[in-house]
Structure 1
């Protein structure tokens, strides 16, 4: 009785097993159709085109005087160490022989006790007087011998002995005279005199101190003029005519304080010579500038002190027919951007500088194409031929944009 029941349920199970996979496939297909349907995408917003903008400057052909700038330290042209030539006790020190004090040539700066040398001078003079008396006696003896030899009263040997004694007496007089001169010289050396007009840098002795021969008394330096040793590089030398010989014309130089820079406080000098030897490390050539009356004692000018660092400006040659580009408009040492004055399009180019300083880069006028302005605004992207918008100058308005060609061939004395 159970077999008929099993036969009726078998087809239902088969249908159920087939229906499940079909349902899964149908659901997957419906999902695929739905996801694969066209999705409406909004078109991207069109980017607004931005034009390059820059300030410009007219290019003018000028004659540019080169000013070479360098740094140095003021030093005296003559610095010496005063020393005692003789020994003795210091009995007097002049007020002019103090650190920083001025003195004049021939002024007595230090005095050594002269009594020993006065005594030595007196002894030398007495010895000279005795030698002269002995000389006079030998002369009389020689003359008497010469008279007696004619009558054969004395022998030739006695005459020769008298002559030799007279010559010895003459030598003794010369020796005594030299000793007097030496004693007089030693006495004068008890006073140490200033060798030139100068100033005291250091003092090494005091009153009552014992000084030996060749003992250092202090350091002094001359004040008639000071010198500055200016390093000149190879690039700078090409634009200078430095004096090499005594009859070469000097070169003007202006000095400013390197510590407190001021245009009001300047010193004028001249370059009188060069050292003639390049520095072993930097290969610079040192030029020697002279500044008269550095402490302003005659002129009343501010003092230029020894050891003071200064900035020197040396007058160089005048470069003819050049364009002075602002330093800020030159990128990477030699790259500039020009703007066509009519089409307002960019023209980037490289230049070869003739000279440069803190404010300008100089190039030959022939190297700059005519009819262009110089772009002075920094731009990161400067494709050739790109249109630019000219930013008016604050003080001139948009006038430069309508001024036509920026080329200027008028000579300007800078």
Structure 2
């Protein structure tokens, strides 16, 4: 019994020491997995190829009349009538009477001038008779001597002729003033503003209205300095008869729905605009008020329009979307699965696309996907290529569940 009491504690102590030593000799190890694979950025790319591109130069301007005039009264008097179309916005034809000034005073002037002409003609006839009589008397009493002009009454005869001419001129002037009591349209046009109405008394040179011709309108367009080399300016290219050949221009306005007009460049201005340091060209629209299916509302003077000017045809150009350009100076391409930043120089640019002068080469893969703060050298995968590779690898493998499905079916 005593021996049993001694051996039991001893066995427990020995077992404890052995277990402690075993634990020390075999510490637990953490089961750690490998580092997770870094997820690649998936980007969409476009292969850069040589393109043929017809440049469309964008500009803008305000519609102005090609011919604009201030209609003035050339005689004095009271306005007794005006035409129905002699109002703001009214259309009129060439030669149409727009306003009538009271002509009674001028009719009286014409009659007075006619009377003066008759009187002068009578005086001339009398003087011609006196001159003929003086010549006859000298032939009879002059003893063969040379008579002076005064004796023959030649100065008096010339004075009588001058009075006839003066009276006739006064008659023509009074008749002209009578005609001017009718204010006649000098061309087919439209009234921009009207300053007078029936019953108003006007004097000579009073401004009656401001009018403009409706056959053509013009738009002054600023051109960027980089766009000049891509355009055929009218001052540089001339056709038969030295007539400038203007490039086609398409005008657009959304003032009332969708409005479009076709025009042409007609000239360039003679100097660079000192304020903007740009050259301005002038485009012209013929017959802008002609009713068409697309333009139900006529063009307005002062209307703002956008213009697309047909430029030159370029071959072998490298063109990229503006959305791929960062800070206007660099883009990203993909080479061997990584991003590379490329600094570029833009030759020409519109609102959507840019022609690249240097920095890129044909055949490179341009990144189309918008990127944030991404460093050059970041590993990427091209959208579409990895999917194709996965599909090719998947074709040579058997689905893993087929065997299980088959065995399950046999068991059932």
Q: What range describes the TM-score normalised by the shorter chain of this pair? A: 0.7 to 0.9
The reply to whether residue 252 of structure 1 matches residue 251 of structure 2 is no
Task: Tell me the TM-score normalized by structure 2.
Answer: 0.79
1:294-328 residue CA offsets vs partner (Å, 9 max, x unmatched)? 11158984422111100000011122212221111
- Contiguous gaps of at least 5 residues in structure 2: 1-29, 237-241, 393-412
* Distance in 2 separating the partners of 1:240 and 1:258: 26
Corresponding residue number in structure 2 for 1:286: 280
Consecutive unaligned residues of structure 1, counting only runs of 5 or more, are 1-40, 404-414
**1 CA distance for matches of 2:389 and 2:260?**
39
Match of 1:107 in 2: 96
Which of 374, 390, 405 matches 2:382? 390
Q: Tell me how far apart the structure 1 counterparts of residues 380 and 292 of structure 2 sit (CA, whole Å).
A: 62
- Of 71, 77, 80, the residue aligned with 2:60 is 71
Q: Which residue number corresponds to residue 300 of structure 2?
A: 305
Change (3 A) 1:368 1:116: same
In structure 2, the residue matched to 1:10 is: none
CA distance in 1, matches of 2:117, 2:53: 77
Q: CA RMSD in A?
A: 3.0
Change (3 A) 1:90 1:400: farther
Partners of 2:367 and 2:215 lie apart in 1 by: 51
Contact 1:89 1:112 in 2 (8 A): yes
**TM-score, normalisation: structure 1:** 0.78
Task: Indicate which of 178, 199, 212 corresponds to 2:169.
Answer: 178
* Residue equivalent to 2:232: 241
How far does residue 157 in structure 1 lie from its aligned partner after superposition? Answer: 6.8
Match of 1:357 among 328, 350, 356: 350
Cα separation, 2, equivalents of 1:269 and 1:376: 39
Deviation at 1:258, TM superposition (A): 5.2
Aligned residue for 1:378, secondary structure, equals coil
- Aligned partner of 2:329 in structure 1 is 334
Residues 381 and 261 of structure 1, relative CA distance in 2, 3 Å threshold: farther
**Greater CA drift, 297-306 or 70-79:** 297-306
8 Å contact from structure 2 (residues 50, 362) kept in 1: no
Alignment length (residue pairs): 355
Report how far residue 168 of structure 1 moved. 1.3
| Paired residue secondary structure (1:354) | strand
Separation in structure 1 between the aligned mates of residue 121 and residue 313 of structure 2, nearest angstrom: 77
Q: CA deviation at 1:46?
A: 5.4
Matched-pair contact (CA < 8 Å) for 1:227–1:288:
yes
The 1-side partners of 2:318 and 2:191 are apart by 51
Separation in 1 of the partners of 2:389 and 2:174? 89
Q: Write out aligned runs for 1:108-257 (5 A).
A: 108-152=97-141, 156=147, 160=151, 162-244=153-235, 246-257=242-253
Superimposed CA distance per residue, residues 112-162 of structure 1 (whole angstroms, 9 cap, x where no aligned partner): 111111111111111111111111111111111111112217995796263
Q: What displacement does 1:371 show? A: 5.1
How far is the alpha carbon of 1:348 from its aligned partner? 1.9
